[in-house]
Amino acid sequence: MTKPPNILWYCTDQQRFDTIAALGNAHINTPNLDRFVTESAVFTHAYCQSPICSPSRASFLTGMYPSALGVNGNGFRCFPRHYESRLISHVLRNEGYDSGLIGKLHLASAFLRREERVDDGYDYFQYSHDHKGGAEPGNEYVEWIKAQGIDHNRVLRPRGIASLYDYRNSHLQQGFGGLMEPTAEADNVPPHLHQTHWCSEKAIEFIGRNREPDKPWLLSINPFDPHPPFDAPYEYYRRYDPDSLPGAHFEASDIAQQRRLEAADIDFQNRARRPEEFQHKQIQASYYAMIEFLDEEFGRLLNQLDATGQRENTIIIFMSDHGEMLGDHGLVLKGCRFYEGLARVPLMISWPGHIKAQVSDALIELVDIAPTLYELLGMEVPPWVQGRSAAALLAGDALSPPHREFVRAEHYAATNFPDKTHATMYRDRRWKLVVYHQKNICELYDLENDPWEHNDLSEDPDYAAVKWDLMRRSYDATVYAHPVQTDEYGPF
């Protein structure tokens, strides 16, 4: 009997789609991801189901939309226990996989403590939400630093957030979402003690640990970077000259557009400003530096799989949970917006001999990953799964119909801000519609002619017919995003 494939699932945090050199970014250095591009199925138009961590992660780990799970935002005390058996890590553990997690989980609140777990299926569990703070119980990354005889308090900076008020003003906290420029004399967390490096060290430990010869493994690796603060180690930051970078996608009209949304109290982690007011090129340099560091560590794992002879029978996924505004439209961090830099993410999947190396512009959602894995593993897709398997697309089936005609995303009170804004995004091959519910505000963009969404057409009478057609289609898509009936037994 052929051994089922291993699964190495590498999920960065808050990485935009346009941050890989081989896919068109001439300003960033990503040699290992560039190599992986040539070996995998690459999706250039992959979209998260929520631009916020917990709902996105809960969604792609179950194949269900955040609203169907009831995990709509960060800050939940606990992932719904009645849905723990729907986590793919739980399912695969029950199918005989040795399942492990390193780094973030964030299916529940990690506010100043280790989050509460359900039966998520991870037997090997090396938890560290981020590389800040360090006083939380159960932070294995901090214990790793201490085991080296190093005082973690001299390495890790405190979060500076101790209350809900602090969180709602977290964009003002340098240690949460600001720029922390390092120097040779005053570094941020150095590479050899960084959480990104620790994730690789523990992953190599897991890949090589003793297990039955025919037992497959699943390893979820979840470093915190390139999530803000923008605090790259000096060794990587020094490789980028901020003045040589292009900076944010910004036009003067963006400020007026953001003021319109802000006046309606639509949630976001900060107020729009002109990019030069917040050192957008230095922020971009640090962000790119963090991604180059991730690239180097991801390359270590590819080399380890090659060295141990496991690469050929390992499905490798590289992705991120959502993007980062990075100064576009005068915004940094995240919140209730659906611009390309925030909603669109990298997604690459490899399995030698089974997945065709290709670069595809097919529309795909992160909710499609779970059903794709079920089909690749020869398992029946559970009835609760709302995503669509992309297995035919991965195999290079040119005769298969388009994977998706549209993608959608949700923000249902996803951030802990007073308005509790509800909004939905609907995007087809050309158009993007965003509706801010109960606000009488929407946005309409022609992505073919305005790829960076500077010209909102929602109030232009020449596009009224387009807007209302998209409204109808978006409404239908939202209605059909409900949980399915899971056990259709009889007619009554």
> Global pTM?
0.96
Q: Which amino acid is at 296?
A: E
Report yes or no on 251 lying in a domain: yes
Print pLDDT tens along the chain (492 aa): 589 999 999 999 999 999 999 999 999 999 999 999 999 999 999 999 999 999 999 999 999 999 999 999 988 889 999 999 999 999 999 999 999 999 999 999 887 778 899 999 999 999 999 998 766 678 999 999 999 999 998 999 876 676 766 666 766 777 778 899 999 999 999 999 999 999 999 999 999 999 998 999 999 999 999 999 999 999 999 999 999 999 999 999 999 999 999 999 999 999 999 999 999 999 999 999 999 999 999 999 999 999 999 999 999 999 999 999 999 999 999 999 999 999 999 999 999 999 999 999 999 999 999 999 999 999 999 999 999 999 999 998 877 788 999 999 999 999 888 899 999 999 999 999 999 999 999 999 999 999 999 999 999 999 999 999 999 999 999 999 988 776 777 777
Partners of 76 in beta bridges: none
Report yes or no on 413 lying in a domain: no
Q: Which spans in 63-169 are helix H? A: 66-69, 88-94, 140-147, 164-168
Report yes or no on 214 lying in a domain: yes
Report yes or no on 453 lying in a domain: no
Q: How many domains does the chain have?
A: 1
- At residue 454, φ and ψ (nearest 5 deg) are -95, -15
Report yes or no on 198 lying in a domain: yes
Report yes or no on 353 lying in a domain: yes
Closest by alpha carbon to 32, among 298, 351, 304? 298
Which domain covers residue 227, as residue numbers? 6-397
**Helices 280-307 and 195-207 sit at what angle, rounded to 10 degrees?**
10
What CA–CA distance (Å, rounded) separates 343 from 330? 16
3-state SS assignment for residue 18: coil
Task: Count CB atoms within 10 A of the CB of residue 116.
Answer: 13
Report yes or no on 481 lying in a domain: no
Dihedral of alpha carbons 436, 370, 62, 194, sign: negative
The first and second tokens of residue 136, run together, are 């939380």
- How far is residue 280 CA from its own chain's centroid? 22
Report yes or no on 490 lying in a domain: no
Provide the CATH number for the domain around residue 149: 3.40.720.10
- At residue 110, φ and ψ (nearest 5 deg) are -115, 30
Query: Which helix (DSSP H) or strand (DSSP E) does residue 319 occupy?
Result: strand 314-320
- At residue 220, φ and ψ (nearest 5 deg) are -95, 120
Q: Which spans in 95-233 are helix H? A: 140-147, 164-168, 174-177, 195-207
Cis peptide before 226 (omega within 30 of 0): yes
CA atoms within 13 A on the CB side of 148: 12
What CA–CA distance (Å, rounded) separates 16 from 280? 15
The DSSP-derived string for 340-405 is HHHHEEEEEEE-TTTS--EEEEEEEEGGGHHHHHHHHTTPPPPTT--S---HHHHTT-TTSPPS-S
